[in-house]
Structure 1
Amino acid sequence: MTSITTGFVRTDLLPPQPAPRENASILGWVRANLLATPKDALLTVLAVALLLWTVPGMLNWLFFDAVWTGADRTACLTGAQGGVQPNGWTGACWAFVGERFEQFMFGRYPIDERWRPMLVAALFSLLLIPILIPKVPYKGWNALALFVVFPILAFFILHGGFFVFQEVETPLWGGLMVTLILSFVGIAVSLPVGILLALGRRSQMPVIRTLCVVFIEVIRGVPLITVLFMANVMLPLFLPTGWTIDNFLRALIGVALFASAYMAEVVRGGLQAIPKGQYEGADSLGLSYWQKTRLIIMPQALKLVIPGIVNTFIGLFKDTSLVSIIGMFDLLGIVQLNFTDINWITPVTPSTGLIFAGFVFWLFCFGMSRYSAFMERHLDTGHK
């Protein structure tokens, strides 16, 4: 019986076999993912039909039939409209974007001084890139330079008024420069202030807890446009006679406070997700409140709410366009302002400008989203 049994039992494993030919090919992938069931096949056919119906026209309008060069509006008008394009032509007017590109970036900042925003952008990139790469050392010094030293240095370079720097008032600032400044200051301020507000809301001291709750609920209960309006119109009424605050500084304060209230609730959600045993374990080690929070609780809480934090940052970046109500022109505002330029009034100018502004906003928001996904994978040590 033993000899018969051993005759049917292998003592070594079979070598791995190649994947079936029908699954390893492109046709096999299409069959498995797009045509697996009649429902999948129907949805695939409808999706392909929709793409064939819309994509060629979009590509023609955006690229193939678009006007890329031109000195004025006649480049984007048909012959019947007084331009050089054939009658019936339709396409994007990228010549308008190219002609106004520097204004979209810097607003009304003096042309001879635009090297200063470029210098600030270069310094910002040099400080930001190392802090985004996990393996680069000296993160503490890097963060100190980026979030403390750099804003002060950037203000003196951009505003000027000393040494060889000509003074440039903030009403002349605009375009993407204003969008990035508002976003950076809002992000840099909202995260630490939001953490303090979240800790204050969970505090055992009634006065601290009440103040944090009132601040968070009041700010979250009104839209950002109301906060900006209050900062621009109502705040000067409470200042002593002769005192004034720059409009741009008011916008920075309003945006930062608004984002801090939302950030506080995101961080509080992370704090509530930490098991009670983590607090008890830290207490058993004899750690103080701030040691426990800094070394044990907060690193775990922030890792859990990375998507919410980045979502708040993305919302803040897009909401900066609301500063146009207080007379400041960010990227979207300066693009819309140029629609009234008589040198570039055409039927396709508004749509082209809005598509350009939308693409720039999407580019930055998509970059933040992808970096968020990267950090989630990098910090996800619980399942490795």
Structure 2
Amino acid sequence: MILDVSQLNLSFGGKPVLQDFTFGLEAGEIACLLGHSGCGKTTALRAVAGFEQPESGRISLNGQVLSDGQRFTPPHLRRIGMVFQDYALFPHLTVAQNIAFGIGKQPAAERNARVNNLLNLIGLPDYGGRYPHQLSGGQQQRIALARALAPKPELILLDEPFSNLDADLRARLSKEVRQLLKQEQTSAILVTHDQEEAFAMADKIGIMHEGRLKQWDTPYNLYHRPADAYTARFIGTGVMLRGKVTGERCVALAIGEFCGSVPLNCRSHTDVDVLIRPDDIVHDDNSPVTAEVLDKDFKGSYFIYTLKLNSGETVYAHVAGHHDHPVGSRIGIQMTIEDLIAFPAKR
């Protein structure tokens, strides 16, 4: 394990910002701290970087303790690279000089070779003589990453690195940055509130809420095996429907009965909350179950319909783009859940 963060606690003005915050990062792994604004994710990143000092808990990098409530290694001695939201490039330095900033003590030939290698790696081999103001936002982001990679740090931290870019560029760059980090075999932690960005980049994702880590897992497991109702609601698009357990294998819902595998922690409860995602609901004109179209969001090849059930509950449905039903009409639907995600109901 390259990074071990254990039971961090940190407060600002007496208000807890990180509470028993714990996770581990394997060598070469790319992780993401994901959560709403104010959940503590940037503070966690700054604590790892050394810009914030936790009141208690331990941070170790490659077996070396960086912070434990008594010892504290300052940021410049941590061998951690940082890529900021605003890129923080030096406007008076050329691209090559920006990249070389952290390796100024190396012999000139070695330094120039590293800069040229990184310029090739980020796909900007002929841009060394330009200045930051002559670059696009995406190009500046690549240069900021190259500068952070230049000293060959043990860990790279990225704080909302794509938030200033448009959606298409953000999606493309997130994949490119992942490839660059993998090529350099550099471990990294990304902070973002964008789920698509997190899923595109990360091997592991930590869901944060009120300074705590709700779940640290692969993107696949977060989506298909959320540990709690908060994570289930947070990841992807979905709603919770109230259901009644009718046996070890079945749950009755307003849209029909599911029979398959009911989670063990739900079998001793009568009422459960079941996560229903848009792809769990299929439009079917022959179904006896119907719902009212409250709203629809056209995506080109498909719609996302907002549907009101007879129970008064609302669900979303992923419907093919040629099924254009007016708001206020009723359509037939059926449930196609493969894996039931359910939790004991909270009254």
TM-score range, shorter chain: under 0.3
Greater gyration radius: 1
Higher RCO, 1 or 2 (CA under 8 Å, sep at least 6)?
1
TM-score normalised to structure 2 length: 0.21
**Under a length normalisation based on structure 1, what TM-score does the superposition of the two structures give?**
0.20
